[in-house]
Structure 1
Amino acid sequence: MKNNARKYVLDILVDIEKNNAFSNIAINRALKGKDIPNLDRRFISELVYGVLENKIYLDFIIGTFSKMKMKKINVKVLNILRMGLYQIIYLDKIPEFAAVDESVKLVKKVDYRSSGFVNGILRSFLRNKKDIKVPTMKEDKIKHLSITYSHPEWLVEKWMKEFGQDFTINLLKANNETPKLSVRTNTLKVTKEELIESFIKEDVKVFPDTFVKEAIHISHLGNIENMEIYQKGFFQIQDESSMLVAHVLAPKPGEFVIDVCAAPGGKTTHIAQLMKNNGKILARDIYNHKLKLINDNAKRLGIGMIKTEVFDAKELDESLLGKADKVLVDAPCSGLGIIRRKPELKYNKKPQDIEEISKLQLEILKNASKYVKKDGVLVYSTCTIEKEENMDIIKKFIKEHNDFEMVDVNDTLPSNLKSEEKFLQLYPNTYKTDGFFICKLRRNNG
């Protein structure tokens, strides 16, 4: 099956590159409904993410040995080369000759004329791999780190200026690590202990030691959606850092909560869970198909208090002014805190993207703030580590809205995440979570 598995990998990588698809969506789309053994599913996932995480380094090697300019290499052929090199360099279980042989077989299926080219590049690398010369730190720090850890130069340079050399190197390393898969216990249906027992019965490896009380880390599982305990709504896939948002919001049963950028609904359903499925949540997004995800998950989890609506958070809904006890703005962002999960993000973003999205974030926050009751709470969160999208937004907002004040989030955090700051900023290299920002604001009575 491995040979077919490599064809799946190729199709997924091409989909990501040509269509700017998210890796998780591209994988799900390619494998959905296919009868693929769990071992092959894991191999496909490992190879897709491995190539994406190391793409700049792999392309550096290809560029070293190819007489053809990178831009002229067919996208399928280029990705077969990346796949072959990744297997040779990083996958000890696959013999070098097998990686070359399977790459040549695969390229013959998609572009027969390029088989000699692929064979030549991979064999040249095997003969000369000790001679690969990446610029040293002394020669060019930015280039060295960019190639070694496969992050674009502009991003390495930005982080070096903001965080310093040691922190940046640790961050780059952490971004290339495989994150644990976190799930949230649906306490409306089961206890954490009962869910752990259910996973163990399914031969799933469980790591219950987590920051968030309802979180569990798991591994060694196949297609989650086929699991009976998933279909019964015993858990929801969600990173721990994302789970912290609902705890900071601290909703109470009977309250009215608005989630202005709700899809795909992980935080929305968690809020409902903390409210014990008692009260009202208005969950909005700009796409109908994304709201369907929220409705489907809510039904599976046994939640009946969420109302979904298509609505653009950039617009102001005057019918909701001053109506909500709690409002969540989980703002659209650059996503540079979740590179571990979506490594393609580091190649898709440009410096101007951060500037543009920060304007949108402030606009959404201003509108959402108008829905908050006097003495009500507004939480702003992002899955990025860029200050322009995080504290800079909060500072600008508070400067223009003196009826809001920051609330210390530490009272709602686990003891090992508490800090001297009133807000929470997580980095992949500090707590092995996604990079996440959470800030809490209260509307005062003035």
Structure 2
Amino acid sequence: MTENQVNVRLLALELLLEITSQKEYSHVALRGALEKYQYLSKQERAFLTRLTEGTVERLLELDYLIGRFSKVPVHKMKPVILNILRMSAYQLKYMDRVPDAAVCNEAVKLAGKKGFGNLKGFVNGVLRNLARNVHAIPLPDLSVRYSTPAWIVRQWTEEYGEDVAVRMLESQFEERQTAVRVNFLKTTKEELIRRLEEEGVHAREIEGVPCGLFLENYDYLRALPSFREGLYQVQDVSSMKAALLAAPKPGDYCIDVCAAPGGKSLHLSELMKGTGMVEARDLTEYKTGLIQDNIERTGARNIKAVCMDAT
């Protein structure tokens, strides 16, 4: 708990309900919570992020594990109880630093706080049985093991072979470094590295990508003044390379479809040195709104967000 008495597990539960029941995008729900509760400690924010993201990533596996020890089918459980069990199962299997007893006790407390006191015994029984067996339960197939829909596993296996398909499935859970692209409209790489170091963030260059940096040792990126000033854009290395390979010339007209949140589009805009035009398209006003936010933050001029499909 913080001085403001925020129960991080309760907050994670509310996020999971928002994601699974209200169908909110997980990154949008989590970002909203992190912005609202900026006074959480770095450790609490890290715990909330890992618990929420990890539970969502492993849903199929977690539901299978829960089903092994519950007489009530997973699809018939109350959403609150199901998500308490999911987040607890994730902690039992993937968060070794959290004692099993603490996981079970906190889950029982959550059930009571959410008005399901009559199901506290059920929650306790399922989780204590799971805690004793979680690492010994065999998973039936690749779909469950990697929490990926069966039709995707079949398609990848048919198209690429099982060995390649397994490597693709495993890659979903590899820890990725945060990559950003320097906004050369506003700063230089050297100046940005210096600025980030002043903010307590370690930045290092990305081999073969002159516009990119890997960032480490930060808490909440969006809270940094350098981010708010638009000095860089969070962008995967593969996305940076795509724009670099496209190599637009000054004065070109570029159309980027499925463009949100706009990283590649902004990169194309920058590569044309303020000339020409980039039309960054996406299908919904929400997504084009994300693009527009980044356009305004970075100060790009030769780009527009358009709510439109690829036709």
Contact 1:210/1:216 (CA < 8 Å) preserved in 2?
A: no
Q: SS at 2:274's partner residue?
A: coil
Corresponding position: 1:293 with 2:297: no
Between the aligned partners of 2:237 and 2:135, the Cα distance in structure 1 is 41
Does the aligned pair in 2 maintain the 1:38–1:221 contact within 8 Å? no
Aligned equivalents of 1:94, 1:279: Cα separation in 2: 54
CA separation in 2, counterparts of 1:87 and 1:120?
Answer: 16
The change in CA–CA distance for 1:285 and 1:96 in structure 2 (over 3 A counts) is closer
Q: Does 1:81 align with 2:78?
A: no
Post-superposition Cα deviations, 1:287-332, rounded to whole Å, max 9, x if no partner, equal 444333333322221222223444x33xxxxxxxxxxxxxxxxxxx
Q: Helix, strand or coil: the match of 1:195?
A: helix
1:14 is the counterpart of 2:17: yes
CA distance in 2, matches of 1:14, 1:80: 10
User: Aligned partners of 1:50, 1:178: CA distance in 2, in Å?
Assistant: 11
Q: 1:108 to 1:235 in 2, by over 3 A?
A: same
Q: Are residues 1:172 and 2:169 paired?
A: yes
Q: Does residue 1:58 correspond to 2:62, yes or no? A: yes
The change in CA–CA distance for 1:244 and 1:105 in structure 2 (over 3 A counts) is: same
Tell me the secondary structure at the aligned position of residue 81 of structure 1: helix
Aligned to 2:26: 23
**Contact 2:93-2:135 within 8 A present in 1 as well:** no
1:254-265 alignment to 2 at 5 Å?
254-265=251-262
Equivalent pair of 1:65/1:124 in contact (CA under 8 Å): yes
- Counterparts in 2 of 1:331-342, with a 5 A limit? none
CA distance in 2, matches of 1:133, 1:305: 55
Which of 118, 132, 154 lines up with 1:113 in the alignment?
118
Q: Which of the numbers 228, 231, 238 marks the counterpart of 1:231?
A: 228
Q: Which amino acid in 2 is paired with 1:11?
A: E
Q: Does residue 197 of structure 1 match 2:194?
A: yes
How far apart are residue 275 of structure 1 and its match? 1.2
Question: Taking structure 1 as reference, are residues 73 and 238 closer, same or farther at Cα in structure 2, changes over 3 Å only?
Answer: same
Counterparts in 2 of 1:258 and 1:80: CA distance versus 1, 3 Å: same
- How far apart, CA to CA, are the structure 1 residues paired with 2:205 and 2:175? 18
136, 144, 147: which one aligns with 1:147: 144
2:45 to 41, 46, 49: 41
What is the CA RMSD across the aligned residues, in angstroms? 2.2
Distance of 1:48 and 1:287 partners within structure 2: 25
Deviations for 1:127-153, whole angstroms, at most 9, x for unmatched residues?
A: 344652434xxxxxxx2x222222222
SS at match of 2:127: helix
**Cα distance in structure 2, aligned partners of 1:251 and 1:99:** 53
SS at match of 1:208: strand
Which residue of structure 2 aligns with residue 69 of structure 1? 73
User: Given the superposition, is the C-alpha separation of residues 304 and 128 from structure 1 closer, same or farther in structure 2, using an over 3 Å criterion?
Assistant: closer
Residues in 2 aligned to 1:5 and 1:170: alpha-carbon distance in whole angstroms = 34
Q: Which residue of 2 aligns with 1:100?
A: 104
Change (3 A) 1:282 1:154: closer
Q: CA deviation at 1:37?
A: 2.3
C-alpha distance in structure 2 between counterparts of 1:151 and 1:286, whole Å: 25
Separation in 2, partners of 1:176, 1:282: 33
Alpha-carbon shift at residue 270 of structure 1 (Å): 1.0
Cα gap change, 1:292 to 1:133, in 2 (>3 Å): closer
Gaps of 5+ in 2: none
What's the CA shift string for 1:62-117, capped at 9, x where partnerless? 11110111111111111111111211221122111111111111121112222111
CA distance in 2, matches of 1:131, 1:281: 53
Q: Quick one: distance in 1 between partners of 2:238 and 2:159? A: 22
Q: State the shift of 1:45 in Å.
A: 1.0
**Structure 1 unaligned regions, length at least 5:** 136-142, 314-363, 368-446
Q: Supply the distance in 2 between the matched residues of 1:147 and 1:28 (Cα, whole angstroms).
A: 28
Displacement after TM superposition at 1:198 (Å): 2.1
The alpha-carbon deviation at position 51 of structure 1 amounts to 1.2
Moved over 4 A (4+): none
Match of 1:157?
A: 154
Question: 1:213: how far off?
Answer: 1.8
